[in-house]
Structure 1
Amino acid sequence: MSFGFLGIQFGFALQNANVSRIFETLGASPDELPILWLAAPVTGLLVQPIVGYYSDRTWSERWGRRRPFFAVGAILATVALFLMPNSTALWMAVLMLWVLDASINISMEPFRAFVGDMLPNEQRTRGFAMQSFFIGTGAVIASALPYIFTNWFGLTNTAPEGAIPDSVRWSFYLGGIAYFTAVMWTVFKSREYPPDDLEELRRENAAKGIYDGIKESFLGIFRMPKTMVQLSAVQFFSWFALFAMWIYMTSAVTSHIYGTTDTNSEAYNAGADWVGICFAVYNGVAALAAFLLPVIARLLNRRLTHLLALFCGALGLASVYFMEDPNMLLLSMVGVGIAWASILSMPYAIISSILPADKMGYYMGVFNFFIVIPQIVAAGLLGFILSTFFGNVAIYALLIGAVSFALSGMLCLIVDDNEVDVDFALPKNPIEPIT
């Protein structure tokens, strides 16, 4: 059920670790990076609620409810992953980012609702933790691919001005294959249960047009349950921090630790490869922490567990400023990985316990507004803040991200969690029909 997320994360991790590198190679300056990354949050803002709304209202006896969206997103993302590293101009790379991120959102949003569909409340924390495990595993491999291709297989890690190195290009090719294969495995090997009232679903679909669906999707932000409203503030500052890291980690590490901004130099490309290793480490930590977090949540509760994890992220991101040895960055990534594991599981486990089953995809899409809105804000502000107050020095973006992580942790204290007595024992048959 969750294996497809392994493939989705190949695309997501390759994007996060390498897009700034590709943009800088094609001529982008540090203060331009946030606005060029705008594609990621905007496509999420447009795609996620609409896909969530329509995946709730889709049913096929053969393909189910969510799986058609998994498949369409996988096909489009695979095409984008093959085309992006062959961009010869900055505008081409930006266009491919739009296509890639929209495609990832088409696949990813229904996957969140899939767990809510298939598991009862007492199993959902474990279900989302399993998603986090596959997300972390896929990201470990994908983030490390340029380093692996360079150091293990001898592919070139530098290229002429304006060209993408072979190590990056082949990483994207392999990522495209992995994305398609893993998602299609879930499409063909999993099964779904029909809506409780299939005839009512068909009547609703006949009564509502496309415009009604889109309108209802975006109005959902004003209809969120109280717990979702509280968690939205936590999500806002969590994802602002993450976006700051994804945009500026390459620039920060190559300039602050490797001492270069020359994208054609060996030092820059070695630093950019090491950022991939850093991202692999934080995702690896997340994959392991995914199984520890439910245990901590049982001892404390879900909101305090999330608070502690976000504080770990703040410490990890802030510590990058004080590092001089690239190897020590791996220690920083441990804190980030703990936060990432919790971000991918705890908020969804909390809200899935309060949502009606027939609107799970819809509300998951609405909730994801608070993933994309902070990224849009970050894209609009970070470049201005760095150029105006910090002389375009990228490392300060990571410090801003650390403060944002800490603030999101404090906001966990306002969340009302409708937590039940959760059974964390592995179910004998986790996809047994729910009655």
Structure 2
Amino acid sequence: MKKRALGFWEIWNMSFGFLGIQFGFALQGGFMSRIFQTLGAEKDAIPLLWIAAPLTGLLVQPIIGYMSDRTWSPKWGRRRPYFLVGAVLSSIALFFMPHSPALWMAAGFLWILDASINVSMEPFRALVADKLPESQRSYGFVVQTLIIGIGTWIASNLPWMVSQLGVSNSADLGVVPMSVKVAFAIGAFVFMASILYTVFTTTEYPPEDMEEFEREKAERNKFIPNILNNIGNMPLTMKKLGVIQFFSWFAFFTMWSLANPALTEHVYKAPAPIENSYDMTVVAQAAKFNVENTNFQEASNSVGSAMGIYGLSSMAFALLLTLYTSKKNINRKYVHLFSLIVGGLGFLGMYYATPDTLLYCFILVGVAWGSILSMPYAMLSSSVDPKKMGVIMGIFNMFIVIPQIIAALGGINYVSSLLGEEAINAMTVAGISLMIAGLCNLLITDKNAIKYQPELTEIHD
């Protein structure tokens, strides 16, 4: 099927739901470790508490991708039913997450939240490839990244914003501050609203051959052998991209899980107070805890706001790529190589950062993030069978979640311990990992993946 070139606003509408998805991810990535620490988690235990996130991605995304390839409704299309289901479950989990009274409950809500986000996210990746001609693939993924950047910046600043409006940033021992609870409630609303916007403003192409589609649909229950078959026969370019993804996502999982303890301790000099170090029945100790806990919560707000900068810079980077790729070709391989090395330098710079200079480190990290969310998918979509786009995107997610599982099971703690006991060493490990990922782009040799040569097309608004 020859697909028409879409205008900017059509691509914007079909990608707008990612604003909500990124609200969920940014609140999770920026403040989940803070919630864990508030509920009494030791910093060395935090990566393991995060293991729910990659495990659910490993299981959910290939299945959802496979199922969405074999779904069609004249009213709701192929991918949109999954957007809706994921949005409802994610919004519920986001709202209740910060109200968790115990550590195990917060970890359970993280499991539900990440599984639900994955139900929505994978079909969004496939939708770009479904709707756009190959000449607009880079453009489409970059617009998606632009929206992700907006969502990351706003969501990462939400606790700080609501605290500026007078919402309390202090709380009793083991209780999450009201500023965080309000921020997560706002995130739940935005998640649902943005997904609904995309669902009601976007249409999808029907299957090209309905008879063949119905035959494939009838074999839906054979998804496990079919997924395993696709894993065994994945293209060489996909395997090479997988190496890049491994080191990239090891770095970012390290940031999401350990940036809060690392930066509140090393940059802001306000580590989380250890719960069993205080006798709350003694007035002086209770007062000392309240001071140190408030300092930690305020430092956590500052870390969250600084992390939001990487969303803002990824948005700016994506905007530049959007303007460029709407008219001209880019060399995806070298754009990604350069971007990842720049991000690695940002992580390395955190060791020397002050509260005033930390934002510059996250600006550099944002360049890498903007590229990670667009270039690998653009390269992949140009080298796989369009009929299998959903399941391929789901399988590709394995290269995202496996490094996170390894990191959560002790990989971060082990590698960073080689550099010393300080939590900030985890950010150094993230920097080294991201620079290795950048150099691995030299493995990519497929010309279609590197730089697609489109036919001239007219873009209609």
Same fold by TM-score, threshold 0.5 exceeded?
Answer: yes
AA paired with 2:459? Answer: P
The correspondence of residues 30-179 of structure 1 with structure 2, limited to 5 A, is 30-151=43-164, 153-179=165-191
- Counting matched residue pairs gives 425
Q: Supply the distance in 2 between the matched residues of 1:3 and 1:250 (Cα, whole angstroms).
A: 29
TM-score between the two structures when normalised by the length of structure 1: 0.94
Pick from 344, 348, 353 the counterpart of residue 314 of structure 1: 344
Q: Supply the distance in 2 between the matched residues of 1:123 and 1:12 (Cα, whole angstroms).
A: 26
C-alpha offsets along residues 266-296 of structure 1, whole Å, 9 cap, x if unaligned? Answer: 2211111011111211101111101223677
- 2:270 corresponds to 1:270: no
Q: Supply the distance in 2 between the matched residues of 1:378 and 1:129 (Cα, whole angstroms).
A: 28
RMSD over aligned CA atoms reads 1.8
Q: Supply the distance in 1 between the matched residues of 2:47 and 2:130 (Cα, whole angstroms).
A: 36
Residue 430 of structure 2 corresponds to 401
Q: Supply the distance in 2 between the matched residues of 1:10 and 1:411 (Cα, whole angstroms).
A: 30
C-alpha offsets along residues 76-124 of structure 1, whole Å, 9 cap, x if unaligned? Answer: 0000001101000000000000000000000000000000000011101
Residue 365 of structure 1 corresponds to 394
Residue 231 of structure 1 corresponds to 241
Q: Supply the distance in 2 between the matched residues of 1:309 and 1:12 (Cα, whole angstroms).
A: 21
CA distance 1:391–1:98, shift in 2 (3 Å): same
C-alpha offsets along residues 14-72 of structure 1, whole Å, 9 cap, x if unaligned? Answer: 00000000001111111101110000100000000000001000000000000000000
Structure 1: gaps (5+ residues): 430-435
Q: 1:352, CA displacement in angstroms? A: 0.7
Pick from 354, 358, 375 the counterpart of residue 346 of structure 1: 375
Residue 220 of structure 1 corresponds to 230
The percentage of counterpart residues that share the same residue type is 47
Pick from 300, 304, 314 the counterpart of residue 334 of structure 2: 304
AA paired with 2:212? Answer: E
Whether the 8 Å CA contact 2:343–2:364 is kept in 1: the answer is yes
CA distance 1:332–1:385, shift in 2 (3 Å): same
**More displaced, 357-366 or 106-115?**
357-366
Pick from 281, 288, 297 the counterpart of residue 316 of structure 2: 288
Whether the 8 Å CA contact 1:11–1:104 is kept in 2: the answer is yes
C-alpha offsets along residues 284-328 of structure 1, whole Å, 9 cap, x if unaligned? Answer: 1111101223677757611000000001100001000011x2121
Q: Supply the distance in 2 between the matched residues of 1:218 and 1:82 (Cα, whole angstroms).
A: 36
Pick from 254, 271, 274 the counterpart of residue 261 of structure 1: 271
Whether the 8 Å CA contact 1:382–1:397 is kept in 2: the answer is no
Whether the 8 Å CA contact 1:293–1:342 is kept in 2: the answer is no
- 2:215 corresponds to 1:203: yes
Q: Supply the distance in 2 between the matched residues of 1:425 and 1:404 (Cα, whole angstroms).
A: 39
AA paired with 1:203? Answer: R
Larger radius of gyration, structure 1 or 2? 2
Q: 1:393, CA displacement in angstroms? A: 2.0
Q: Supply the distance in 2 between the matched residues of 1:201 and 1:124 (Cα, whole angstroms).
A: 24
Q: 1:154, CA displacement in angstroms? A: 1.0
AA paired with 2:453? Answer: D
Secondary structure of the residue aligned to 1:313 is helix
AA paired with 1:316? Answer: G
Q: 1:356, CA displacement in angstroms? A: 1.7
Q: Supply the distance in 1 between the matched residues of 2:130 and 2:79 (Cα, whole angstroms).
A: 10
Q: 1:250, CA displacement in angstroms? A: 0.4
Residue 243 of structure 1 corresponds to 253
Q: Supply the distance in 2 between the matched residues of 1:394 and 1:88 (Cα, whole angstroms).
A: 26
CA distance 1:136–1:426, shift in 2 (3 Å): farther
Q: Supply the distance in 2 between the matched residues of 1:97 and 1:70 (Cα, whole angstroms).
A: 19
TM-score between the two structures when normalised by the length of structure 2: 0.89
Q: 1:218, CA displacement in angstroms? A: 4.0
AA paired with 2:58? Answer: L
CA distance 1:121–1:364, shift in 2 (3 Å): same
CA distance 1:388–1:124, shift in 2 (3 Å): closer
Q: Supply the distance in 1 between the matched residues of 2:55 and 2:263 (Cα, whole angstroms).
A: 27
CA distance 1:193–1:425, shift in 2 (3 Å): closer
Q: 1:382, CA displacement in angstroms? A: 3.7
AA paired with 2:248? Answer: S
Q: Supply the distance in 2 between the matched residues of 1:288 and 1:137 (Cα, whole angstroms).
A: 9
Whether the 8 Å CA contact 1:307–1:409 is kept in 2: the answer is yes
CA distance 1:386–1:227, shift in 2 (3 Å): closer
Q: Supply the distance in 2 between the matched residues of 1:319 and 1:273 (Cα, whole angstroms).
A: 20
Whether the 8 Å CA contact 1:7–1:181 is kept in 2: the answer is yes
